Structure 1
């Protein structure tokens, strides 16, 4: 045992710190008791990850904060990565401010992630000149009065963040190197927010639309390639709520029509199908090559199918289409199938359809085939002249729905260019 310990002690400092990076910080600190050569190894760490549950007891709470500050203060070099996930019944802004103040003093921070799992906590954000990645979740964010902006910031994620109009726009405008934006925000008062992206280096944007914003615009992003859109719409949402989300999303989609890869959830599509208009989406994606649709089968009906057909009419060079209908086991016990007759009325060859470049169709399911999904497959096969690969990924049961087998076998016989591949798994992930 002593010989093995000596071998560990003889390892170079670089290898020792690499080992400690794989451990929780508390365990890394405990290695200081192994031997004299390990006593201060942990102080060479630069990446800190904490997952804390602050107790109700004020004294124990203070002990946690003091311990965290102690670890940061003992580090010999800068803190490059700092990730804090915590739950506190009564989060105190002074705690976060104190912790961030020590990190500012250390310098060199490149990645900051703070997730608050409890009630919303106030975060007076400090200025980090070298910051490249910022992830904040369920926080009330305040910027300094003379905030200069994170000029090196490349990735910005804000989920459930409460912020003022001034601060959100200052944060976006001040991130002149921004390449990736994700999340959704809400106002710190009763007013709705506007998010304007004038980001020449932006390549990816993901936004979750709610009634907390009045517009999300992308006015300058020539390098934008990928976008993902989702919306806060439930079974009890009113037609007015859906109309608002549809209007916000339409303007946003018009701004990002230059992208080549687009993801859209079924709830958002449903917002465009509240009336009898056959094609509510008039945005043309002239460069789009990949479309991803995902969501719950419970969102699908004949109106969603009509909007889906409309999407395909506005994507002339689409090459890859993925439809993911993912529901946890047991969720669809009370699912009511949509009107099959109305779906069948829409399934026909459309002279105006322009999806003849479609090469790959992937359908992922976790439950028996839904009428609307079956209609999607039939509509695509009728209107795409060449499909080199059709892949059905059937999750939830070990056997593929017989109607799918019959439908696609007929298509395979009719067109030698179609290669049908079935794969199935009973695993849920």
Structure 2
């Protein structure tokens, strides 16, 4: 008991010393904690309670009070009132003392717009009046079935664009921006970051008009916003909507980062643009993007482009027009069967789900990372490459196409590149292969790393799954990423015991001139990413997983 009080006294002394720090430092400490943890500090002492009462950052999510699936017609107002009461107390406490509200972030998974609109107007007004610098409002969308429901939107007040203090502004979800924004005075002179996602505009020109009055904007995100059309005469109960079709922005000399998705025609006058993520809308119309003007661009992500939009010399022109490009990502694009990448500056190239590509030729002597995720497994040839190159292959195990993974690895040229290959298995199909399907006439190539993010749930497929992998490659390092797709401890144990040669009776040595992969195995060392005694056995590691680390790794280091 004496020891307990001695320890408690020492803890209190340390807490007292922290409590004596300047309030600005204490606020900085709270800012680095999650909202619920920072709120708990108010019970530590009177000094911490005062610190919490004057904390100028409010980040509030409805998930802290209720889950949207638990809301019913009978209890909706009672649950929403919990959020309203909490926000009102926090805002009024600061507002009544004349204290600044530096950040106000509100994320609602469920909202009754008619019931809450008055409060939202009041809260935004209080935040702006107090000199708010960061304002975020995320509401559930107004989309209902195939049409927009007008009563499921919150009408954004004009007061928002009168703030001279705002540096970051983010609106997401069921928010409607009225045509009155076109004629109202915009005073966002300090705004550096603007995010508009899944909003509904009553006029297409509002976005252009709004952004053009943000002279120091550095980061811009416009994703899948829609334009509302007037009610049809034939059916006045139904409203119609279309994607925003175009974005024309001039004079954005400070813009460094742009993320534009769901817009078919984009023109940005941004000579200092450093990063661009672009995806046109899902339509048959051709996209228009002034890529050739971004001469300082270093990172480019292009999604959902089609072959009709990309000419034969597109890649050659791309790298000549963008001489400083270091990062290129192509995702879900319909491209030519063969593409050539030639760049002295390129360091990262990602080819993700571009199913038409069958051959990729890369001449990039400074390339450090290549990642590709495709189902048809193209051939990858490096004309010149860096000694630090890492190749990441994301694949599936599908016993219906037994040669696909093997060809994927064998199609990487030259062979010395294989020493830098990491293979990630992220999906498998539960179909049992035919007996003897994995016999091979040559030793599979050696790769650096194999990471399993999935595994068979059916015990009958344990050995075929493992045998298939090792008929395609011989990894020096195997890891299981836990807490994602793979949660089968039984499979990991089977995997380990097979590596240790305890199940040799199932191998195919008798029907093949090539010895099975595990016969050459000398040492298997087991490690894990969470802190545990290095001499702990595998079973103890697995039993400790839920207590130690929900997303950890167990790894096998192999020596042949």
Query: What is the aligned counterpart of 1:325 among 352, 358, 374?
Result: 352
Partner of 2:492: none
Aligned-partner Cα distance in 2 for 1:37–1:258:
50
Using a 3 Å threshold, how does the CA distance of structure 1 residues 374 and 391 change in structure 2: closer, same or farther?
Answer: farther
Deviation at 1:51, TM superposition (A): 0.3
Q: In the alignment, is residue 217 of structure 1 matched against residue 267 of structure 2?
A: yes
Deviation at 1:153, TM superposition (A): 1.0
Task: Check whether the contact 2:136–2:169 (CA below 8 A) recurs between aligned residues.
Answer: yes
Deviation at 1:157, TM superposition (A): 1.4
The higher radius of gyration belongs to 2
Task: Check whether the contact 1:288–1:317 (CA below 8 A) recurs between aligned residues.
Answer: no
RMSD of aligned alpha carbons: 3.7
Using a 3 Å threshold, how does the CA distance of structure 1 residues 205 and 24 change in structure 2: closer, same or farther?
Answer: closer
Deviation at 1:260, TM superposition (A): 3.2
Deviation at 1:208, TM superposition (A): 0.7
Task: Check whether the contact 1:262–1:288 (CA below 8 A) recurs between aligned residues.
Answer: no
Deviation at 1:74, TM superposition (A): 0.7
Using a 3 Å threshold, how does the CA distance of structure 1 residues 419 and 285 change in structure 2: closer, same or farther?
Answer: farther
Provide the secondary structure at the position in 1 that maps to 2:420: strand
Using a 3 Å threshold, how does the CA distance of structure 1 residues 58 and 280 change in structure 2: closer, same or farther?
Answer: same
Deviation at 1:218, TM superposition (A): 1.4
Using a 3 Å threshold, how does the CA distance of structure 1 residues 188 and 9 change in structure 2: closer, same or farther?
Answer: farther
Q: In the alignment, is residue 159 of structure 1 matched against residue 197 of structure 2?
A: yes
Aligned-partner Cα distance in 2 for 1:316–1:410:
19
Query: What is the aligned counterpart of 2:208 among 139, 161, 169?
Result: 169
Query: What is the aligned counterpart of 1:426 among 447, 452, 459?
Result: 452
Q: Deviations over 1:222-272 (max 9, x none)?
A: 212221112343xxxxxxx23x1x333xx332443552332212x224563
Task: Check whether the contact 1:149–1:173 (CA below 8 A) recurs between aligned residues.
Answer: no
Q: In the alignment, is residue 374 of structure 1 matched against residue 406 of structure 2?
A: no
Using a 3 Å threshold, how does the CA distance of structure 1 residues 257 and 43 change in structure 2: closer, same or farther?
Answer: same
Aligned-partner Cα distance in 1 for 2:344–2:255:
23
5+ residue gaps, structure 1, are: 234-240, 328-336, 350-354, 413-417
Provide the secondary structure at the position in 1 that maps to 2:62: strand
Deviation at 1:46, TM superposition (A): 1.4
Using a 3 Å threshold, how does the CA distance of structure 1 residues 258 and 165 change in structure 2: closer, same or farther?
Answer: same
Deviation at 1:405, TM superposition (A): 4.7
- TM-score w.r.t. structure 2 length? 0.56
1:20-419, aligned counterparts within 5 Å?
20-25=30-35, 28-29=38-39, 31-52=41-62, 56=73, 57-75=76-94, 76=97, 77-91=99-113, 92-107=116-131, 109-119=132-142, 120-125=153-158, 126=160, 127-138=162-173, 139-142=175-178, 145-163=183-201, 164-184=203-223, 185-189=225-229, 192-198=244-250, 199-210=252-263, 215-219=265-269, 221-233=270-282, 241-242=283-284, 244=285, 246-248=286-288, 251-256=289-294, 258-265=296-303, 267-270=304-307, 272=309, 278=312, 285-295=321-331, 303-306=335-338, 308-309=339-340, 312=341, 317-325=344-352, 343=358, 356-360=363-367, 362-365=369-372, 370-371=375-376, 373-375=377-379, 377-378=380-381, 381=382, 384-385=383-384, 387-395=386-394, 401-408=405-412, 410-412=414-416
Deviation at 1:85, TM superposition (A): 0.7
Deviation at 1:172, TM superposition (A): 0.7
Provide the secondary structure at the position in 1 that maps to 2:210: helix
Provide the secondary structure at the position in 2 that maps to 1:40: helix
Alignment size in residue pairs: 366
Deviation at 1:58, TM superposition (A): 2.9
